[in-house]
Structures are given as C-alpha cells and as structure tokens.
Structure 1
Amino acid sequence: MSGIERRVLDALADTSSAEPEGLFAPGAVTWHSFDEVEAPTIPDTFATLRAIREKVPDFTMTDVRTGDGFAQYVIVGTLPDGSALRAPAALAIHVEGGLVTRIEEYVDTGQLAGLFALLA
C-alpha cells in the first residue's frame, strides 16, 4: 500500500481542486465512528470538507503519520469565534486493486463540538 495513505490525506487536505482521479474506486465509501454513517467518498466527503473550509478557512491536518493502511493526524483550525479547533484522529484505509474502497474515520466528537455547531 506504499504511499496511498499519504495520497488520501493530501486529497482530503486539498479540496480546492476536483476530486482526485485514480485514487478512489467507484462506489468508495467513508464511514465515521462518531455517527456510524457510511457515505459515498465522492462526492459527499469532499463536499463536507469544502463546507468545513468555508467556515474554518485554516482547517488542516498536522502531525501526520501514515503506515500500512492507516493514517494518524491532528485536525486543527480556528473557529469563527477565535477558539482553537484541535482533535486527534485516525483513518483506516481499505484498498483493493490499488484503489481506495473504504475510509473509516475515528475521532472524538467532543473535540469537534464547535465545528459541528457551525455545520448544523
């Protein structure tokens, strides 16, 4: 799975361009631990990230570590009220035939409460 984890994070970090070609399998899904919802990665995950960046322009992922099928990082940004957003998170990345078929995101909702309130 050499490098695909980093490519996934790079794609999620840069939503200013079109969804990346040759990275996600048709029908790829993203699942979240906090709501146990499974949604199409394209376009839903990218649309959500664009909406987040409209509210939190400096939203990004730092302290990134990747390995065989996983990525660990910290979500950071500044909320409109000036408070800091910080939430350690992890992805389990499932790949078949060189394409990502499923992403599972694990993050503590308590640390994202301010962000969720903006998106409600």
Structure 2
Amino acid sequence: MNDALIDRFFAAIEAGDVDLVRALYTPDAVIWHNDDLLEQSVEDNLRVLGGLHRVLSDLSYEVVRRAEVPDGVLQQHVLHGRLPDGREVALHCAMYLRVRDGRVARIEEYLDSAQRTPIREAREALQGRQ
C-alpha cells in the first residue's frame, strides 16, 4: 500500500528533487538519526539532502528489503554514490518511515556513523574551498 509513496520518495531524493521530497513529507514531519539522537525538521533535512548531492554524484538507493507495518514501512538499503575524488561509497542503513495521510510523517534512520566519515570529510573539504 505504501510502496508507491516510498518508491517516489527515494526516487525524488536520488534525483535531487527537493521540492518533491518536501511535498511528500507532512508539514510537521520529523527526521531522527541514531548517531546524534536529534530530531530534524523537514527544512533541516532538505538542507542535508542538498548537501549530500553536492558531495555525491551517481547517488542511488539499493533496497535490500522492505516490509509494510501498520503505520508505515521498514526498509533496509544501501546508499551508493561517488565522492568528488572518484571513490565510491556505500552507506548501509535501516529506516522506519511512518506514513500518515499518504505522506511521510516521521523517519527514524539507523546507520553506522563510521561509514559516513568519507562523506562528511568530503563535505567539509568542499566547504573549506568556498
């Protein structure tokens, strides 16, 4: 039932379509990450996604498994991309996406923050050049 929404959501992220991602979130959506235990607003999350596209080319999600739950979807995936220096990255994640009224209302993302280090370092290097 929620597969089409979640497919559209991740396709919009892959394409860098921030406006569509925003439209697929509820206005009060919250995004939580296990590595900092903080909740982000939609606008904060969209800034992070925009930064991800500045650092990674060929961004794509490889869905490992997805399961419908009564209020949303559990998904395990691998985020793939290429850093500015040509290195490929693969970030393994698990997410719970709560769906309300046909839109994403909450995300809880679980990942190993050490796998994100090359992305963070590339982002910081790009910011240092500006």
Q: TM-score range by the shorter chain?
A: 0.7 to 0.9
Looking at structure 2, the residues matched to 16 and 104 of structure 1 have their Cα atoms a distance apart, in angstroms, of 21
TM norm structure 2: 0.77
Which structure carries more helix by proportion? 2
Pair 1:72 & 2:76 matched: yes
Structure 1, unmatched stretches of 5+, are none
Name whichever of 72-81 and 16-25 sits farther off: 16-25
Structure 2, unmatched stretches of 5+, are 125-130
Work out the number of aligned pairs and report it. 119
Deviation per CA, 1:60-118, whole angstroms, max 9, x where unpaired? Answer: 21245322111221111122233221121111011223322101111111111110112
Name whichever of 1-10 and 72-81 sits farther off: 1-10
Secondary structure class of the residue paired with 2:78? strand
- Structure showing greater radius of gyration is 2
Deviation per CA, 1:43-62, whole angstroms, max 9, x where unpaired? Answer: 22222112111121222212
Aligned to 1:89: 93
**Structure-2 change in CA distance of 1:28 and 1:109 (3 Å):** same
Flag as ranges the 4+ runs of structure 1 deviating above 6 A. none
- Among the aligned pairs, what percent are the same residue? 29
**Structure-2 change in CA distance of 1:21 and 1:115 (3 Å):** closer
Looking at structure 2, the residues matched to 20 and 82 of structure 1 have their Cα atoms a distance apart, in angstroms, of 27
